[in-house]
Amino acid sequence: IFIAFLELFALRQGEGRLPGDTVGCGKLGLPVFLVGGKSSPCDPVANERSLNAEINNGRLAMVAIVGMISQNGFLGTTGPSMWLPGAALPQRAFEKELGVTMPMRYWDPLGLASDGESEAFQRRRMAEIKNGRVAMWACMGYIVPEYYRFPGYLSPSQNLEFKDVPNGLAALSKVPGEGWAQIGIFIAFLELFALRQGEGRLPGDTVGCGKLGLPVFLVGGKSS
């Protein structure tokens, strides 16, 4: 009811006034029925600095409140811990593991590792690192085709050249079924051999990869 009252009266946009110069508000945009005073049309020349500051601060505040709500939802924190990440977080399992970095500190928004089971944590960390590497390559796959395409044909039998394949999701329908089969076989090969997690190795330290997590059969070198 209070919001409806503000929208209909105090915060109603006046005809012929600047955007945000509402009929029931005065200095700093505060309703006159709360702070007194009177509401008169704003002078855009005399108040240019204040108007620009309000617009810029309003934009920042909209981004900030989204960040605060997101952090509260993910980490369950409010108060000082909202702007001092990790300050009020209790010690949890695997708090000393790699990946506990600013600003999110210990990242487990769903509480999957709350049981403290080490084997399950290691398995999830392996999946996290592997999926992160795929995501980084995927980002490059979105960007690079905007500037460079392989020469030649993607499918000679269908007279389909690489330059004819659109970028992004539109490419999914253009790649022939045989091409998807090749991609699937290559992924299976990587999972079973090059990207296989070695026993006794750190999560992500796969047996067939070297520097930067690149398969050694592609870039040479050795995996140690």
When comparing pLDDT for 77 and 163, which is higher?
163
4-24 per-position pLDDT tens digit: 988 888 788 878 888 888 888
Radius of gyration of the chain (CA): 28
- Run of H or E residues at 161: strand 160-161
> Has residue 181 got a pLDDT over 90?
yes
> Has residue 40 got a pLDDT over 50?
yes
Burial (CB < 10 A; 0-12, 13-18, 19+), residue 106, is: buried
- Run of H or E residues at 153: strand 153-155
pTM > 0.85: yes or no: no
Residues 6+ apart with CB under 8 A from 151: 162
Residues 6+ apart with CB under 8 A from 202: 98
Report the C-alpha gap between 129 and 39 in whole angstroms: 58
122-139 per-position pLDDT tens digit: 888 888 888 888 898 889
Contact present, 37 and 26 (Cβ < 8 Å): yes
Mean pLDDT for the chain? 80
Left (φ > 0), alpha (ψ -120 to 50) or beta: where does 111 sit?
left
Report the C-alpha gap between 89 and 93 in whole angstroms: 12
Averaged pLDDT, 126-154:
89
- E-state strands within 87-127: none
